[in-house]
Amino acid sequence: MNLDQILILVAITAYIAGALALLNYMLSRAEIAKRAGIPLAALGCVVQFGELAYRWQSSGLWPLTNLYGSLSLFAAMSVLIYLVFAFRYDLWFMGGFVLALAAIFLAYGLTWDEGYLPAVPALQSYWIKIHVPLVISAYASFMVAFVSSVLYLIKFYGEQRAAKAAAPVAASAPAQRSIIVGDAPNLERAAAGGSTLALWLATLPALPNLDIITYLLIALGLPLLTLGIITGAWWANEAWGHYWSWDAKETAALVSFVIYALYMHLHTRRSIQGFWCSWISVIGFVSIVFCYLGVNIWISGLHSYKM
């Protein structure tokens, strides 16, 4: 086993252990679980970047020319973006899901690892050092946004279910702690009644706060994706003589861009914020997965770089 493989093994182990610790934190709010999860997440992330740097240094080949390299960066960037947001907005509750997804994507990437391969002529350009990291960072932002959207929807449906199970909360319910309206009074009541699931859901941030977190993550991802599409088009013009070929990857990236642009437009409308926007974020990430993996693996085209 060479250093490269050892580092990846360490990263996956750290992500899995970190995911378990932060899932435990989300369920129990035990401070010790959080204290264990944060360094594990940071360790996995640092080790992964170290592995990519080692790969580059030892082979002299830019490591992002194949699916393994890009998936590795995707996992590392997802964790990095998550950590930055988690420190800023106290998002440790969702770390278990982010780290678990990062571990899954990284492990899946390993199945495409064929060792060190020189880049094909189309990829022999300085643009690969600009375009690929930008696009992968955008995907990573959308992945973290996907997690917060899913948590929003779980909490939303949990509240709906709790509302159905109980009589509606009386108008004289205790005043909200903040201006945030539409949080989960039924869940809180069900939690007080001893429901474990309701207790867990009630400890998640208020729905509007989850919505804002998703918004902020997409607000990071969309400009990155836009810049990625712009640099990709410029590179395509340099390599093939046209900005846009309606290649499957280009079209899928455009569709993803439109979905997230739609999200941003719809998010300006108060009646659509939250529930509908969370669904759009979920759909957007499905489109990103198709654009990223579906096109690379299943559809033959200008961007079918697997090995």
Partner 1 sequence: MAASPAARPETTHPNALRAACDDLLAQLSDFWFGMGLLAIWGLLTLIGVVVDQGKDAAFYATNYAPPLARLVLRLHLDNIYHSPAYIGMVGFIVACMTLATFKRVIPARLPPLRAVRIERIPLNANLVVAADEATVRERVETFFRTRGWLVRRRDLSGTEWTFADRHNWARRGVIVAHIGFVIVAIGTTIYWATGYSGQTAILTGKSVAIPENGTRLRLDRFAYRFDPIKTRSGIVYQPIDYVSDLTVTGRDGVPHRDVLRVNHPLDIDGTLYYQSSYGSAVRFALKKDGKPALSPADPLFEGDGFPLGTSSRTIRYERFAGTLDAKGGVAKDPRPNNPGVLLGIFDGDQEIGQVLLPLHRALSLGDGYRVEATGVTNFSGIQYTHDPGSPFVLAGALVLLAGLVISFHFVPARFHVRIESATGGTAVAIAATTVKGFEIFEEQFGALVGELRGAVGST
Which residues of the chain form contacts with partner 1 (CB under 8 A)? Answer: 113-115, 117-118, 120-122, 124-125, 127, 178-181, 208-209, 211-212, 215, 219-220, 222-223, 226-227, 230, 233-234, 237-243, 246, 248, 251-252, 254-255, 258, 262, 264-270, 273, 307
Nearest to 176 by CA among 189, 185, 163: 185
C-beta neighbour count of 87 within 10 angstroms? 11
Q: Which is nearer to partner 1, 126 or 193 (CB)?
A: 126
Q: Which is nearer to partner 1, 64 or 99 (CB)?
A: 64
CB of 219 to partner 1, least distance (A): 4
Q: Which is nearer to partner 1, 32 or 117 (CB)?
A: 117
DSSP class per residue in 85-139: HHHHHT-GGGHHHHHHHHHHHHHHHHTT-----PPPGGG-STTHHHHHHHHHHHH
CB of 223 to partner 1, least distance (A): 5
Q: Which is nearer to partner 1, 46 or 266 (CB)?
A: 266
Burial 100-138 (b: 16+ CB within 10 A, else e): bbbbebbeebeebbeeeeeeeeebeeebbebbbbbbbbb
Q: Which is nearer to partner 1, 46 or 233 (CB)?
A: 233
CB of 271 to partner 1, least distance (A): 11
CB of 259 to partner 1, least distance (A): 8
Distance of CA 192 to the CA centre of its chain: 33
Phi, psi (rounded to 5 degrees) for 174: -55, 145
Q: Under DSSP, is residue 218 helix (H, G, I), strand (E, B) or coil?
A: helix
CB of 116 to partner 1, least distance (A): 8
CB of 290 to partner 1, least distance (A): 10
Q: Under DSSP, is residue 242 helix (H, G, I), strand (E, B) or coil?
A: coil
Q: Which is nearer to partner 1, 104 or 206 (CB)?
A: 206
Enumerate residues 6+ apart whose C-beta is below 8 A from 41. 14, 15, 18, 22, 79, 82, 83, 95, 99
